[in-house]
Homo-oligomer: A and B are copies of this chain.
């Protein structure tokens, strides 16, 4: 150990604007997430205590809470990044696309990326989350709450795109909820029936198709 000198001076490829402190912080954070998921998949979500997670990384549990607001939070890191990705994808869609199409493509695109393990999304970890939620109401609640926040952003996006005021027009609300729920229905189906409907992205795509066509026709 002890590469005392390097780093200082003008040397250092230094493509990292953030300093060493920042990197360390990031490493701790990552380590916490890793440790958490390891323990979760070993013992389950509820049976894992914050202290255990912290101990595994050798920090105090107090520190854990400086990185994550709650135990659910660490398990849902994944979802937050996913949301960020969806919103980013959304803003790249051409403006003349019908809203629902834009939403569909953005969401399906991200689902594919997840499956491919891109963007730091670990499919295995995703699977772990789904099964954890099955027997941990707490976590499920957290997940749903997160979805709710995401929805507020969607409403904003959709309203702007449709050029309407969400206080006047109900459609943005319905479309946003439908989007959230479309995704939810897909994960839900996968939770309950494994991969019976194909991959996540396929399931999401089918779900959107049903929503676009309208539910009035069913029987």
Is B213's CB under 8 angstroms from A185's CB?
Answer: no
User: Which of B101, B141, B166, B188 sits near A141, CB closer than 8 Å?
Assistant: B141
Binds B, one of A7-15, A53-61, A85-93, A203-211: A203-211
Q: How many copies does the complex hold?
A: 2
Tell whether A32 is near chain B: CB-to-CB under 8 Å.
Answer: no
Q: Interface range on chain A: under 10, 10 to 19, 20 to 34, or 35 or more?
A: 35 or more
Judged by a CB distance under 8 angstroms, whether A180 is at the interface is yes
A167 with B193: CB separation less than 8 A: yes
Chain A 126-142 against B: per-residue CB contact (8 Å), 1 yes, 0 no? Answer: 00000000000100111
Q: Which chain B residues lie closer than 8 Å to A166 at the CB level? A: 192-193
CB < 8 Å neighbour of A142 from B141, B168, B218: B141
User: Taking chain A's interface residues, is the majority helix, strand, or loop, or is none over half, making it mixed?
Assistant: helix
By a beta-carbon cutoff of 8 Å, the part of chain A in contact with chain B is 98-101, 137, 140-142, 144-145, 147-148, 151, 161-162, 166-168, 170-171, 173-178, 180-182, 184-185, 188-189, 192-193, 196-197, 203, 206-207, 210-219
Is A162's CB under 8 angstroms from B219's CB?
yes
Q: When the two chains form their complex, are residues A175 and B141 in contact, meaning their CB atoms are under 8 A apart? A: no
